[in-house]
Chain A
Amino acid sequence: MISQFFVLSLRGDNIVFRDCLKFNFRFPNILLDRGEVQKGSAEIFFRKVKFWKEDEEEEAPPVFVVMLLSRSLYIVLFPFSLESTALTLETRFKIGLNQLLKCRNGTAFNQTLNLDGVNYFHVKVAGLLFVATTRVNVSPSLVLELLQRVARVIKDYLGVLNEDSLRKNFVLVYELLDEVIDFGYVQTTSTEVLKSYVFNEPIVVDAARLPPLGPASMFMQGTKRMPGTAVTKSVVANEPGGRKREEIFVDIIEKISVTFSSSGYILTSEIDGTIQMKSYLTGNPEIRLALNDDLSIGRGGRSIYDYNSSSGAGAVILDDCNFHESVHLDSFDIDRTLSLVPSDGEFPVMNYRMTQEFKPPFRINALIEEAGAFRAEVILKVRAEFSSSITANTVIVQMPLPTYTTRVSFELEPGAVGNTTDFKEANKRLEWGLKKIVGGSEHTLRAKLTFSQESHGNITKEAGPVSMTFTIPMYNASRLQVKYLQIAKKSKTYNPYRWVRYVTQANSYVARI
């Protein structure tokens, strides 16, 4: 199964490296190096991820196989698009072949020809690369899921996951890995279970001086209602004072994707939501989580894009959902309550997906007009269509401009505050940042473009689409709600803190022009 596990920084430094499997059990009698994945695999991996294609800026897929021709020569076999790399493969192959022919007369031949594909899996979490290698035809989902889960367990333990905290706690991380993977087989990834096997105490790094990362960090900014330290608190470490605060966080995080046509009509829309739970309760009390009564799941044979079907009541209709294994659905069909005994650490209680029509939080209006042969004007309008008691933050509007754009001058509305405007010369992109957008407000940006050549008259084909990213706390587009969060009481005085938080983020929010 898994041969090696390692964590690299984005600069390529080895932070954690563990050989989980010391044998190649699939090819027992190959005498060469008994199947240990080649030494230096971390380096080969990194070179490959960093420079997936020499000429194009393309991201390496999360799974690929590298074949070593020798220690210094290797080729990536799958997957790649044949079209663009056939030539490079051929040339690389030629180099490899020449090398082989040279070796043919020498004794080195057999060693050099240790051709064996090493499959590399990687996920990027919090600026770190979590990598696993194997030589076996395993389930890719399993390995990628595992990597993601290992990252989460480490985060549960360390409170904060980043290069610094990993380096400070690598012995703990080794200890965790030893219990998670034994001889290539996954044992457990439950923080709860691991707690009884793992003895190193985490060295907690100072969360305050960290740059915000990941979806969890959004709670740290802007709103005072949420204790900023909570999300970066280790599940096992005691707070200063030796006492643990009894609390539980339930986050309803929704990522919305909307594509508007050039006329403002909604082409596609989707909500990907998750109910995330992070429990710091002792004694594992049972929890009941009640959702909307009118929640229904599945669209019984109707096309999921058939918007008319939702026009009746204001019911929330999910296309589909899945649940964490600890969730009991015994009464879900009757009263829409989920019951579970939350295990320690962070985990998704439920993931759901919805294509039912919903009101998009923002309307984008983009106009691009020619103003003479070498000029054009872009007018961007953003209107917030949610209640004025809610504020969206860290809004960024982007728009690619024609490649022959040389200069852009911006004009904001009078009195606009917290706005930034920028023209990214390198990728010819207009960027408009707004710190805050209060519900119901409208914002406009005018940008005057100067071109280096005459436009062909179809600027709309050369520019756009407009895309937008934002975070809206205490807002959810799907109207899915946690009606109540009930914790089985151990005693009358037991009254832990409960935090139920909503947040909506843009996933792919695009308006075509």
Chain B
Amino acid sequence: MAPPAQSQRSQSPSQPSSKGEVSDLKLQLRQLAGSRAQGTDDSKRELFKKVISYMTIGVNVSSLFSEMVMCSATSDIVLKKMCYLYVGNYAKGNPDLALLTINFLQKDCRDEDPMIRGLALRSLCSLRVTNLVEYLVGPLGLGLKDNNSYVRTVAAIGVLKLYHISASTCIDAEFPSILKNLMLNDPEAQVVANCLSALQEIWSSEASTSEEASREREALLSKPVIYYFLNRIKEFSEWAQCVVLDLVAKYVPSDSNEIFDIMNLLEDRLQHANGAVVLATIKVFLHLTLSMNDVHQQVYERIKAPLLTLVSSGSSEQSYAVLSHLHLLVVRAPILFSSDYKHFYCQYNEPSYVKKLKLEMLTAVANESNTYEIVTELCEYAANVDVPIARESIRAVGKIALQQYDVNAIVDRLLQFLEMEKDYVTAETLVLVKDLLRKYPQWSHDCIAVVGNISSKNVQEPKAKAALIWMLGEYSQDMLDAPYILESLVDNWDDEHSAEVRLHLLTAVLKCFFRRPPETQKALGAALAAGLADFHQDVHDRALFYYRLLQYNVSVAERVVNPPKQAVSVFADTQSSEIKDRIFDEFNSLSVVYQKDLEVQTPYLTQGLKILQPSYMFTDKEHRGPFEFSEELGSLSVGAESADNVVLAQRVEASDNDLLLNISEKEESRGPSNNGSAYSAPLYDSSSISLVVSQTQSELTFPNPALPAHAPQASLAIDDLLGLGFPAALAPAPSPSSPPLKLNARAVLDPATYQRKWKQLPVSLSQECSLSPQGAAALTTPQVLLQHMQSHSIHCIASGGQPPKFFFFAQKAEEPATFFLVECIITSSSKAEIKIKADDQSTSQDFSALFQSALSKFGMS
């Protein structure tokens, strides 16, 4: 491809003013092409340089192609290299012209000078023109047998290039087996490494269609091959060592002696100055010892020092990458790092991305013995001039408080923050104090005394204001002037821009009313009136709901709004250990830096299938309510690639975060099903619900228990935009005719597990079923069917090919371990062949019926 067009900003002096210069160049090149005069090469060099500099800044100089090729008949290697660079860049766009170059490249492939042979071969393979592949096979074959190692290194990668231009040509020429032979015998380590890289890629992508390739891929992990690599590891360059170590990390040794042998052999790699080698080695160590608890722990001790040295020796970018891995280990085994906490102190000149990681690590390692010192250090940062870091530090103190048993001292510190009278410090602290009170209600006395002194006028940030209001409502009994503060807030209703704050205000006023009715009555009336007139749908709905509730029965209202509280034991935003494990499995990859499980590289079921639901959909299954929006979207975005789901997961994550911060409402609305929440009192007991519903059915959209009472406006708006109501999203109810088998609408299965299951399970049902004519007509793109099936709680994991082939899965609603896997091939316009595999064979009939009924409805609606 051509380099990207130059941005407008750039004022490079060498930019040609017009097309004139390019044609000028053309002329000059033409003149030089035939010349054999002395010094021609020098002037050619100058011209070539000009051409390439244009190419770099994005000027299209492809019109010079034939002149460039003509000029390249030279023995000057510098000129040749420039010409190769040019040709490689433009050949794809000019296949006809590329043919011109074949001749001289082929000739160069037989040059005496191994340098030229290698360069020519590399350029030949980089032409990327499909109809020229026939010219590649010969030179590549010779290149692999060349007696010069440079040519062989180039040829090994050349095979991979050929594979990507035309896989069949590559396989037919039996290049993989030649590569394998080279890999196991070549004296030159770089050749071996390139063969390994090429073979790994070729066999992984062939494995899905060819038994042999998948066997070969397995064979790479066999003991003799692994030992062969390990014995030669010191011959490899540091980068090739990383490739080898990556392979070794996948090897499963047969016994513990083997494990120790490998670790002894690799131990000195931990002292390598290249961080990539060290991390790759650590991955091997960690994976080998996973099942040996005590040794695993020793490995942690052993790798600690090298990691810390890497953190402090490289550039800040490098230390960030290493620190991310250290972070993962610290979070996994905080106890092992609890005495190293001083290493995680922030230095004032570190970039904020490093500081943030360090703050998280400090939070993780805090325990009884070091909390005092860590919190003291964090308090220093809280006064820092770097405001974002100061905020993070305060949050870190809060997190430590939430995970400690003895919070006495920390609470004092937090309260001291409030006395600092810096807006952002106060804001962050209020949010924390609120969370703290939810977990440790016994501290309310001390906290409230301090919080009561804060004037709500000094708190502007919505989250902090919401927290303050929540406390006013919750502890209105202990705060003398709570009703009056709330009243003044209600008076300024119109000035309050954040819907979140207004929602909290409504609830707080109502809570306050139940405790101190005479003082609050006026404020309540004003709040309800303002709420009903509010333009924000959620605020309006809540006001109306409270109003009706009060009208119906005050004591029921009190039970709903002001139930007895239970302390929160675990907050919903803690990352599940399963995810952490998965990230750990992907040690030394981007997953660690992003702190997201990203692995999508698992070889696919069949070549040509698109992965629709990579594993990062995981976040979904842990949540209900707030995510309908995302789920809805997932099924809607036609043609969404895997990446789409990342977006969704991210959205989910964001809501996740909300969970911690917007407290009571969600928990109230989530109802009894949520056993981890603070308010376990049954909120909407059936009687009151039915009554309210019947009363208001006609005009009130009653907040469904499964839906957050104040789902962000955005999501509602989007839902409306899409013209889809909630009901479909909330309960993809099995159609009345379907059998009693219930499927989980939000089933999640990652491709690797799917593949494993598919291999393991026997086919329990295999039959042909019909497709309605409308359905067949509607099947213009696979996505349409996928959406349809998803609305029946049957999810697609991959699809593609001709005839269209789909892999579906579904999960039993009440048994999360029970999956159904389906392979469905649309054989003709009205027929489909399905194969069903099930974890629970007994229900596969029922599932089949469900699946077929779903399929038959396709296109009907």
A58 within 8 A of B: yes
Contact A62 B800 (CB under 8 A): no
Name the one of B356, B638, B643, B654 contacting A104, with C-beta atoms under 8 angstroms. Answer: B638
| Contacts A14-B6, A58-B388; A144 near B321 (Cβ below 8 A) | yes
Q: Which residues of B contact A26 (CB under 8 A)?
A: 601
Taken together as a complex, chains A and B put the C-alpha atoms of A106 and B753 apart, in Å, by 37
Contact A79 B237 (CB under 8 A): no
Contact A303 B339 (CB under 8 A): yes
Q: Which residues of B contact A123 (CB under 8 A)?
A: 315, 317-318
Contact B385 A139 (CB under 8 A): no
Taken together as a complex, chains A and B put the C-alpha atoms of A39 and B348 apart, in Å, by 38
Name the one of A16, A43, A322 contacting B4, with C-beta atoms under 8 angstroms. Answer: A43
Contact B52 A171 (CB under 8 A): yes
Q: Which residues of B contact A138 (CB under 8 A)?
A: 589-590
Q: Which residues of B contact A13 (CB under 8 A)?
A: 7, 9-10, 12
Taken together as a complex, chains A and B put the C-alpha atoms of A257 and B92 apart, in Å, by 54
Q: Which residues of B contact A491 (CB under 8 A)?
A: none
B276 within 8 A of A: yes
Stretch touching chain A among B157-165, B252-260, B736-744, B826-834: B157-165
Q: Which residues of B contact A321 (CB under 8 A)?
A: 271, 309
Q: Which residues of A contact B201 (CB under 8 A)?
A: 25
B34 within 8 A of A: no
What is the distance, in angstroms, from A287's C-beta to the closest C-beta of chain B? Answer: 17
| Contacts A14-B57, A113-B637, A320-B308; A142 near B242 (Cβ below 8 A) | yes
Stretch touching chain A among B76-84, B447-455, B535-543, B559-567: B76-84
Stretch touching chain B among A82-90, A382-390, A441-449: A82-90
Taken together as a complex, chains A and B put the C-alpha atoms of A272 and B589 apart, in Å, by 26
> Secondary structure at chain B's binding surface: helix, strand, loop or mixed?
helix
Contact A268 B345 (CB under 8 A): yes
Task: Write the chain B residue with the least CB distance to A262.
Answer: B380
Q: Which residues of A contact B644 (CB under 8 A)?
A: 113, 115
Name the one of A46, A61, A89 contacting B654, with C-beta atoms under 8 angstroms. Answer: A89
Task: Write the chain A residue with the least CB distance to B801.
Answer: A29
B214 within 8 A of A: no
Contact B317 A148 (CB under 8 A): yes
Contact B352 A189 (CB under 8 A): no
Name the one of A185, A352, A508 contacting B157, with C-beta atoms under 8 angstroms. Answer: A185
Contact A137 B590 (CB under 8 A): yes
Task: Write the chain B residue with the least CB distance to A462.
Answer: B383
Contact with B along A263-305 (1 / 0, CB 8 A): 0000010101010000000000000000000000010000111
Contact A351 B353 (CB under 8 A): no
Taken together as a complex, chains A and B put the C-alpha atoms of A185 and B387 apart, in Å, by 41
Task: Write the chain B residue with the least CB distance to A181.
Answer: B239
B657 within 8 A of A: yes
Name the one of A141, A170, A305 contacting B279, with C-beta atoms under 8 angstroms. Answer: A141
Taken together as a complex, chains A and B put the C-alpha atoms of A233 and B49 apart, in Å, by 24
Q: Which residues of A contact B714 (CB under 8 A)?
A: 90-91, 94
B128 within 8 A of A: yes
Name the one of A12, A117, A144, A186 contacting B318, with C-beta atoms under 8 angstroms. Answer: A144
Interface size class of A (residues with CB under 8 A): 35 or more
What is the distance, in angstroms, from B120's C-beta to the closest C-beta of chain A? Answer: 13
Chain B residues bordering chain A, tally (CB within 8 A)? 133
Among B238, B420, B608, max chain A CB count under 10 A is at: B238
Task: Write the chain A residue with the least CB distance to B601.
Answer: A137
Contact with B along A11-43 (1 / 0, CB 8 A): 111111101001101111110000010011111
Taken together as a complex, chains A and B put the C-alpha atoms of A17 and B12 apart, in Å, by 15
Task: Write the chain A residue with the least CB distance to B633.
Answer: A97
Task: Write the chain A residue with the least CB distance to B379.
Answer: A461
Taken together as a complex, chains A and B put the C-alpha atoms of A93 and B82 apart, in Å, by 44
What is the distance, in angstroms, from A81's C-beta to the closest C-beta of chain B? Answer: 7
Name the one of B92, B154, B242, B318 contacting A148, with C-beta atoms under 8 angstroms. Answer: B318
Q: Which residues of A contact B586 (CB under 8 A)?
A: 137
Taken together as a complex, chains A and B put the C-alpha atoms of A104 and B781 apart, in Å, by 14
Contact with A along B340-354 (1 / 0, CB 8 A): 101001011111110
What is the distance, in angstroms, from B653's C-beta to the closest C-beta of chain A? Answer: 6
| Contacts A82-B657, A140-B589, A141-B588; A353 near B638 (Cβ below 8 A) | no
B598 within 8 A of A: yes
B664 within 8 A of A: no
Name the interface residues of B533-589: CB closer than 8 Å to any CB of A: 586, 588-589
B131 within 8 A of A: no
Name the one of A270, A351, A512 contacting B380, with C-beta atoms under 8 angstroms. Answer: A512
Taken together as a complex, chains A and B put the C-alpha atoms of A253 and B317 apart, in Å, by 19
Task: Write the chain B residue with the least CB distance to A44.
Answer: B4
What is the distance, in angstroms, from A478's C-beta to the closest C-beta of chain B? Answer: 13
A498 within 8 A of B: no
Taken together as a complex, chains A and B put the C-alpha atoms of A270 and B343 apart, in Å, by 9
Contact A188 B593 (CB under 8 A): no
| Contacts A14-B6, A77-B646; A200 near B78 (Cβ below 8 A) | yes
Q: Which residues of B contact A140 (CB under 8 A)?
A: 321, 324, 589-590, 592-593
Contact A353 B639 (CB under 8 A): no
A395 within 8 A of B: no
Contact B205 A28 (CB under 8 A): yes
B313 within 8 A of A: yes
Taken together as a complex, chains A and B put the C-alpha atoms of A56 and B58 apart, in Å, by 33
Task: Write the chain B residue with the least CB distance to A47.
Answer: B7
Taken together as a complex, chains A and B put the C-alpha atoms of A391 and B377 apart, in Å, by 33
A413 within 8 A of B: no
Task: Write the chain B residue with the least CB distance to A110.
Answer: B639
B170 within 8 A of A: no
B111 within 8 A of A: no
What is the distance, in angstroms, from A126's C-beta to the closest C-beta of chain B? Answer: 12
A393 within 8 A of B: no
Contact with B along A137-156 (1 / 0, CB 8 A): 11111101111100000000
B5 within 8 A of A: yes
| Contacts A182-B154, A187-B153, A461-B383; A353 near B350 (Cβ below 8 A) | no
Contact with A along B359-403 (1 / 0, CB 8 A): 000000000000000000000100101011000100000000000
Task: Write the chain A residue with the least CB distance to B9.
Answer: A12
Taken together as a complex, chains A and B put the C-alpha atoms of A380 and B568 apart, in Å, by 49
Contact A348 B380 (CB under 8 A): no
Task: Write the chain A residue with the least CB distance to B280.
Answer: A139
Contact with B along A338-365 (1 / 0, CB 8 A): 0000000000101111000000000000
Taken together as a complex, chains A and B put the C-alpha atoms of A82 and B78 apart, in Å, by 51
| Contacts A26-B601, A115-B644; A141 near B4 (Cβ below 8 A) | no
| Contacts A23-B164, A62-B321, A144-B321; A67 near B647 (Cβ below 8 A) | yes
Name the interface residues of A441-465: CB closer than 8 Å to any CB of B: 456, 458, 461-462, 465
Name the interface residues of A106-147: CB closer than 8 Å to any CB of B: 109-110, 113-117, 119, 122-125, 136-142, 144-147
Taken together as a complex, chains A and B put the C-alpha atoms of A59 and B317 apart, in Å, by 11
Q: Which residues of A contact B77 (CB under 8 A)?
A: 199
Contact A170 B276 (CB under 8 A): no
A259 within 8 A of B: yes
Contact A115 B353 (CB under 8 A): no
Contact with A along B757-794 (1 / 0, CB 8 A): 00000000000000000000000000000000000000
Contact A175 B81 (CB under 8 A): yes
B438 within 8 A of A: no
Name the one of A100, A115, A353 contacting B308, with C-beta atoms under 8 angstroms. Answer: A353
A sample of 16 more A-B contacts (CB under 8 A), given A115-B647, A351-B309, A510-B348, is A11-B10, A78-B595, A113-B639, A123-B317, A136-B601, A137-B598, A137-B600, A142-B276, A170-B52, A170-B56, A171-B49, A199-B78, A353-B309, A507-B347, A508-B347, A508-B350
| Selected A-B contacts with CB under 8 Å, 30 pairs | A14-B4, A14-B6, A14-B7, A17-B4, A22-B92, A29-B609, A60-B353, A61-B320, A63-B321, A78-B594, A82-B657, A90-B654, A113-B637, A113-B638, A119-B590, A124-B317, A136-B601, A137-B589, A139-B279, A141-B588, A145-B276, A146-B239, A148-B315, A187-B153, A187-B190, A268-B342, A303-B339, A322-B272, A323-B273, A353-B313
Q: Which 7 A-B pairs have the closest CB atoms?
A: A508-B347, A78-B594, A115-B643, A62-B317, A320-B305, A142-B276, A61-B353
